[in-house]
Structure 1
Amino acid sequence: MYKNLEEHNRLVNKYLKIFFVVALYWCTSILTVFVNKHLLSSDAVNLGAPLFMSWYQCVVSTIICFTMSRLSRKYPSVFTFPEGNPLDIDTFRKLLPLTVLYTLMIGANNLSLAYVTVAFYYIGRSLTTVFSVVLTYLILRQRTSFKCLVCCATIVLGFWMGVDQESLTQSFSWRGTIFGVLSSLALAMYSIQTKKSLGYVNQEIWLLSYYNNLYSTVLFLPLIILNGELDTILAYPHLWAPWFWAAMTLSGFCGFAIGFVTALEIKVTSPLTHNISGTAKACAQTVIATQYYNDVRSAIWWVSNIVVLVASAAYTRVKQLEMVQQHQQRNAATLKA
């Protein structure tokens, strides 16, 4: 009886932990999107400089990582952060291709959010899975199963349905849609390159994040100038307002926190559960956005969202089953040998 009660309490604690971590991921992710959108195009703030905001987010993340690194050296029993030197030239050279993709991914992401509505934001960036399949074949020469290709084709169909319906509204922006597609492409390329780059930092995810954010603070500067944001920033009426920098810093903390809670959710659940959670979160985010901004959408527009969400979840499930099957086949081959 005692053992059964102890096992029951252990399972309850486990599932409560999973519930709170997933809830934390949802809240942090949705809050990040709404905070960024508020900074970029709300009547109160309307910064109009998405790359500058991206740069500042990288600055905040770099400061947080640097502080954690110093605290871990001074108080190793309280704080933990992997050892590394971001100013090492050889490390910079090896990680530069990944940092370029990281910069493009964040920049295109915020550029897309500056022009499209939060409700359309998920659809505009829904082609990451499709690009991942294409790039995996072109770069790694790895073929994809027919079932996965069907899922990808369905995602593309849902994307075009969403774009077609969004184009009928006054809020539609081809520029924002194109930046969303570029963000999806950069994310797919970043994911592939990350596997290689982790070897340069002893598989330390936080060290890689530290280096990427630090190097991106440099790479964003010429992009800010080329995008014509320097004059926008200097002419911004609230540039020296404390509340503005407080909001910008909050955005930076959200950007850093989303990386932390993503890694935490994967740790306490699994990559499959995280992908399913992200898909469900996107659905909730879309519903919240339409209610918050009073967006009235057509039935076909909602169907396009459902098509993308279901197809994305189906792709994740199919890939998971294929990985299990491959693992079982390798084990069987090992036993025969």
Structure 2
Amino acid sequence: MDRIRVGVNGYGVIGKRVADAVHAQPDMHLVGVADIVTDWRIRSAVPRLPVFAATPDAHTGLVDAGIRPAGTLDDLLAQSDVIVDTTPKHVAARNLPRYQAAGVKAIVQGGEAHDTTGHSFVAQANYATALGRDLTRVVSCNTTSIVRVLGALDDAGLLLRARGVLIRRATDPWESHLGGIMNTMVPEPVIPSHQGPDAKTVLPGLDVVTIAAKGAHTQTHNHYWTLQLTREASRDEVLDALRAAPRIAFIRMSDGLVALNSTVELMRDLGRPRGDMWEVAVWEDLVTVDGDEAYLTYQVCNEAIVVPETVDAIRALTGTVTDPAASIRLTDTTLGMRQDFLTPERS
């Protein structure tokens, strides 16, 4: 079978991670990446993969910087079956007509509105509805985590409604020098915050409300959930429902993982590329069940969680793998994802 030819437009926080993940897939070929920058961000990619110029000015800039571009964005599109657009918020929406004119399937990220593509994607929830589509949108990091965790409980018939509080990182770590929040916390100006309604674009029947604030930190997000269950349940039932779902991994305070920074450090110690955590990290020893109510907290790596979803979206749009579980399994095995970071995996 021919490998899926994939291009990535935008070599930033998400784009470089998607490019590496695509390169690792046995059924995909990374054609190259395109960007408008000519500084260290794109220069670091030059020794490893083909770099295309996203605009004429970028082409001139690359040449002036001593870099020979592999071509233009149009050249990248001509060689690709799927383009993954990881450009900044709202840029992808303007790029879609260009992709469609080139006859290339396209994936955008969660910064774009659901209406941009008419379909929002999380692999475990609605892979099948993306099969053969020309466009889809991989939802944001926080929305991805909501669909994974609440979707797992919903699939088990346990979830009636969910109310969550999100403490969001202020900015991406590499942009910390540009500004941010110090010694304060900034509430999002509306309730519900956008993550709950966004989750409903993937799971329309979900009864969920989110409240969010930006905190004075740049590494990962933190969620706190109060869950109304459909019936009285045991703690083990809730844990089993989470264990049955892909891309949820347990951490424990009893192991010394007592804060966001300790999990970040663990990812580095485990040898994860860039310290990435593709899974949702649920504190197992904090999961509490009282009759028909459950409470839990988890951590979301905003830089990495959407990467495996994007890989699966590529297979779904091209229709090369029609079974969601098979695609998820292949992606997770290739990336080395886990269900528990410190306990050996169950056979």
Task: Report the structure, 1 or 2, having the larger helix content.
Answer: 1
TM-score by length of 1: 0.27
Task: Report the structure, 1 or 2, having the larger strand content.
Answer: 2
TM-score by length of 2: 0.26
Relative contact order higher in (CA < 8 Å, ≥ 6 apart): 1
Which protein shows a greater Rg?
1
